[in-house]
Structure 1
Amino acid sequence: MTNTLKASAGPLEHPRLPTLSLPAGSCDAHCHIFGPFDRYPLPADRSFTPPLAPESALRQWHEAFGFARSVIVQSQGHGYDHRPLLDALSAGAGRYKGVALVRPTDPDEVIAAYDEAGVCGARFHFLAHLGGRPNLDSIRAVAARVKPFGWHLAIHVAGDNIVEYETFIASLDANVVIDHMARPDVATGPDGAEMTALRRLMDTGRVWVKLSGADRLSKVGAPFHDALPIARSIAAHAPERVLWGSDWPHVNLHGPMPDDGDLVDLIADIVPDEERRQLMLVDNPAKFFGFE
């Protein structure tokens, strides 16, 4: 059955180096790793087949681009097998934090072990191709389980989901981060219902947003400038609660593989001044994820 799953291509082997120089201590707040598959076989119940993208490859491109820290998000590609993530956290010796996929039935000792390793959040998908509509009671149950550890909750929505689930997200008793700018339709613009709902959530003071996934939002392709009005509006609305992520290695794309040089250079267009870039890339992630 798994041989019918969509297979994701790997990232560009030789992305161009960006022209933007990143501030010291910059953090890629959203990326994934996959493999090595001889050590971590893919589960049969995965929702897609990821490319080989181990921690060693992630570290190599981060060092080339100037990222000192990153947040590795557990993906449906490895499902609930967190061994690649946990081993990466150990190898990173403080340069990584992790976000896990947690079930209400996971034992207390498992969650405690994740926390000890450097996991600081739990992620929930609201997308059909990643498991379907969420069970809100299960999310509340997981939120209660991880609250003693001070974890955040990562929410992955798309389209008008942010409007549909605004009240639920606002009710969560934890800090929340919305992945990929909530993946709105760029045609709705920064003043559409999706962005209006997102700004209301940010105004609670407990909701942060990752300015990642510009390539996923774009309808015209690189350098993804049609996503700029959305990204700029979010960054300007609450500069103290925005983060930036690459989404490397860019799985489950419908368009061409993006060049990470384009994505990093887009940072300067989203946040033109250095002081706000320092916030987004260094200070905000240090505060939100708990980097020393």
Structure 2
Amino acid sequence: MTGSQASSKAAQPSTPVNFDVPAGACDCHTHIHGDPEKFPFFAGRVYTPEPASPEEMSALHKALHVERVVIVTPSVYGPDNSSTLFGMTARGPTARGVAVIDDKTSESDLDTMQKAGFRGIRLNLATGGVNDPNL
């Protein structure tokens, strides 16, 4: 099995939360893996995840009493942030995003992402096989 054929299984809550969760609690790192027909994976990815929809994310957050979320573009999409934007849009004003960019990302692209709710960029050098932080 090659790396791009490996799959992962999303964990789902099976035990109710039995403690007080602070108001405004935030999941600060989650991913959306949309329909691969609409959100194709990056050819250079090292794994292929199972779908993780905005509806599943919201159900998980409801079960955990989490009000806000930061959706991070996973490495399986390369610099395509459309699945993350899809998740942010589905969640609404309680969602923010972290984008993956590359050397083709323009200042106007960054401005557009900021207006859409992205508040950071992800630098995941190891997944791309880059181990030199000077790059």
Aligned mates of 1:46, 1:101 — CA distance in 2: 14
Q: How does 1:181-220 map to 2 (within 5 A)?
A: none
Two-structure CA RMSD over aligned residues (Å):
1.9
Quickly say closer, same or farther: Cα 1:115–1:25, change in 2 above 3 A.
Answer: same
Q: How does 1:1-292 map to 2 (within 5 A)?
A: 4-5=2-3, 7-127=6-126, 130-132=127-129, 133-137=131-135
Which sections of structure 1, spanning at least 5 residues, go unmatched?
138-292
Q: What residue identity is the alignment partner of 1:108? A: E
Larger radius of gyration: 1
Q: CA deviation at 1:135?
A: 4.6
3-state DSSP of counterpart to 1:136: coil
**Identity percentage over the alignment?**
28
Aligned mates of 1:105, 1:63 — CA distance in 2: 38
Q: Name the structure where helix makes up a greater proportion of residues.
A: 1
Q: CA deviation at 1:122?
A: 0.8
Aligned length in residues: 133
Quickly say closer, same or farther: Cα 1:115–1:123, change in 2 above 3 A.
Answer: same
User: Does structure 1 conserve the Cα–Cα contact (< 8 Å) formed by 2:13 and 2:63?
Assistant: no
User: Does structure 2 conserve the Cα–Cα contact (< 8 Å) formed by 1:72 and 1:97?
Assistant: yes
Give the 4+ runs in structure 1 shifted more than 6 A.
none
Q: What residue identity is the alignment partner of 1:93? A: G
3-state DSSP of counterpart to 1:113: helix
Aligned mates of 2:30, 2:63 — CA distance in 1: 16
Quickly say closer, same or farther: Cα 1:94–1:136, change in 2 above 3 A.
Answer: farther
Quickly say closer, same or farther: Cα 1:34–1:134, change in 2 above 3 A.
Answer: farther
Q: Residues 223-261 of structure 1, C-alpha deviation per residue, up to 9 Å, x if partnerless?
A: xxxxxxxxxxxxxxxxxxxxxxxxxxxxxxxxxxxxxxx
Q: What residue identity is the alignment partner of 1:119? A: F
Aligned mates of 1:109, 1:91 — CA distance in 2: 24
User: Does structure 2 conserve the Cα–Cα contact (< 8 Å) formed by 1:26 and 1:68?
Assistant: yes
Aligned mates of 2:11, 2:88 — CA distance in 1: 24
TM normalised by structure 2 equals: 0.86
Partner residue in 2 for 1:249: none
Q: What residue identity is the alignment partner of 1:26? A: A
Q: Residues 163-184 of structure 1, C-alpha deviation per residue, up to 9 Å, x if partnerless?
A: xxxxxxxxxxxxxxxxxxxxxx
3-state DSSP of counterpart to 2:29: strand
- Between 1 and 2, higher relative CO (CA 8 Å, sep ≥ 6) is seen in 2
